A and B are shown apart, each in its own frame.
Chain A
Amino acid sequence: MGTQAIRFVGYIFGAALLGLLALPVTSLVGAISVQKFLAGVYHPLFWPAISLSLRTTILSIGFVVLLGTPLAWWMAHQTSRIGRLTTVVVHLPIIMPPAVVGVALLQAFGRKGWFGTLLSAQGLNVSFTVAAVVIAQMTVAAPFYVQASIQAFKKISPDVWVVARSLGASPIEVFLRVGVPMAIPGLISGVLLAWARALGEFGATLVFAGNRVGHTQTLPLAIFYALESDIELALVFSLILVLVGLVVILVISQW
């Protein structure tokens, strides 16, 4: 086969995959008129769901950044066995099906779970509450943020740390005054990726937090709920989630 033929086949393969990725979204857009869209936006399910989604994702990503940035910094400088083990643990939620994450969270934080028993003794109940929504989102989104942050920290030359410390900066000062500011573009990409993942989180939330309208029903859960009774409403909600995702991708591509 000649070079041109190989290139042609390559184009065909590429176009086929591109079509597979773009077709569902385009069909979603094509199926919704402006009237239907507006009707969806004013539906009583929409605002509680989107509002809960936004509030919980802001909270969960805030926690992920707070806890994940120092962890990523540490992991970026680790070559030991403990470092490798930590990488496996951090990446676990990516390879676990979301429903399995939900079951595992129930097992850990549910009333009869390992940690949940301790919480119950203190009169605290996590599962099927807004806290469960946040924990589920944190669990599935954290790997994306931590991974992006590790890459951002790794890009910085080790000489930078040595110079900063030779100028009298303690390891914490190096982290806060040099590491974080230099890694900012990568950290922001990580935040957006993790946020998009948290916003779209469905399986773990359904299992661990339930689908209680006005309580734990996020937008993806509202789509699931609407699918059973009003397919057009589900389409509108889906389109809104896609649009939010698109904005995130556009912002990331600017960094």
Chain B
Amino acid sequence: MVDTSLIVQVQVSLGDFMLDVDLSISMKGRLAVIGPNGSGKTTLLKTIVGSVYPDKGHILVGDRVLSDTKLRIEVPVEDRQVGYVPQDYTLFPHMNVINNVAFGLSTGGRRGSRACKKEIALRMLGRFGCQQIAYRPVQQLSGGERQQVALAQALVTEPRLLLLDEPLVALDMTSRRVVRLLLQNYLSQLDIPTVFTTHDVRDVVSLADSVIVLSRGKVVQMGTLEELQKQPCNDFLVEFLGQQ
């Protein structure tokens, strides 16, 4: 039996745009989604997280159905157990770092004392080496710190899948190199599948074990980076790989 942990087979139409994707990744798989602007990368992540509804198809994480249009199942975003970090590392500006991280521990009527939740949040920040910024307002964080706090926030609820939308795009070149190394380390320790979008081949080299190429909402090629390098399917991919 194939150890498949994420299956996405969906068609989504947004006005004139149509996303038609069929992909699956394994338990600890790290999938990079690449493609030109407007190819549907973010729409794919939003469909998996549940903020965009598919017209047709299904999404499964492990044996759990998140969406199935035939069975009329559409699990609400809050019940999907999918961690999502958008491009700009969205944090809640009215909370400090630790309250941002602990937010997911107090939603949906989760039980536990406030002290206990803060302790868990602190431990999570510790995993990212960020305990010293726990009580700082998020407005005072650097780009790299924001990214780590956003990751800690997404992972503290122990999601079954992690989605990262261009995880390094908001950083300058120097921080990008440092954070990429950190991210490589974190993701390799995770026991859940990760899907991330990127425009940078270095992210693919460091973080992904497989890649899909989207063009106008369709998967035009998939495989490992080496496989893609052997036979790039379009000009975008040739240019993308040329960044190396």
Contact = CB atoms under 8 A, between A and B. Distances in A.
Contact of B90 (A163, A168, A177, A181): A163
Contacts of B108: 168-170, 173
Most buried by B among A158, A163, A169: A163
A166 B83 contact: yes
Interface of B: 46, 49-51, 76-80, 82-88, 90, 92-94, 103-104, 107-108, 110, 153-154, 157, 159
A3 interface: no
Interface of A is mostly: helix
A165 B76 contact: yes
B90 A166 contact: no
A162 B93 contact: no
20 contacts: A158-B51, A159-B86, A160-B90, A162-B49, A162-B77, A162-B86, A163-B86, A165-B77, A166-B50, A166-B80, A167-B103, A167-B154, A168-B79, A168-B108, A168-B157, A170-B78, A170-B108, A173-B107, A173-B108, A181-B94
Contacts of A159: 86-88, 90
Given A159-B88, A162-B46, A162-B51, A167 B94 contact: no
The 8 A-B residue pairs whose C-beta atoms are closest, nearest first, are A167-B104, A168-B107, A165-B77, A159-B86, A169-B107, A166-B84, A181-B94, A168-B108
A168 B50 CA distance: 12
A173 B107 CA distance: 7
Contact of B107 (A160, A170, A181, A182): A170
A181 B94 CA distance: 7
Contacts of A229: none
B104 to A, nearest CB: 3
Interface in A167-194: 167-170, 173, 177-178, 181-182, 184
Given A162-B51, A162-B77, A165-B78, 10 more contacts: A162-B46, A163-B86, A164-B92, A166-B83, A166-B159, A167-B103, A168-B107, A168-B108, A169-B78, A182-B94
Contacts of B51: 158, 161-162, 165
A193 B199 CA distance: 46
Contact of A166 (B88, B92, B94, B154): B154
A164 B154 CA distance: 10
A88 to B, nearest CB: 25
Nearest to B46: A162
Contacts of B82: 166
A164 B84 CA distance: 9
Most buried by B among A158, A159, A170: A159
Nearest to A168: B107
B48 to A, nearest CB: 10
Given A167-B107, A169-B107, A162 B92 contact: no
A157 interface: yes
Contacts of B157: 167-168
Nearest to A167: B104
Nearest to A162: B51
Contacts of A173: 107-108
A3 to B, nearest CB: 40
B30 to A, nearest CB: 19
Most buried by B among A162, A164, A167, A173: A167
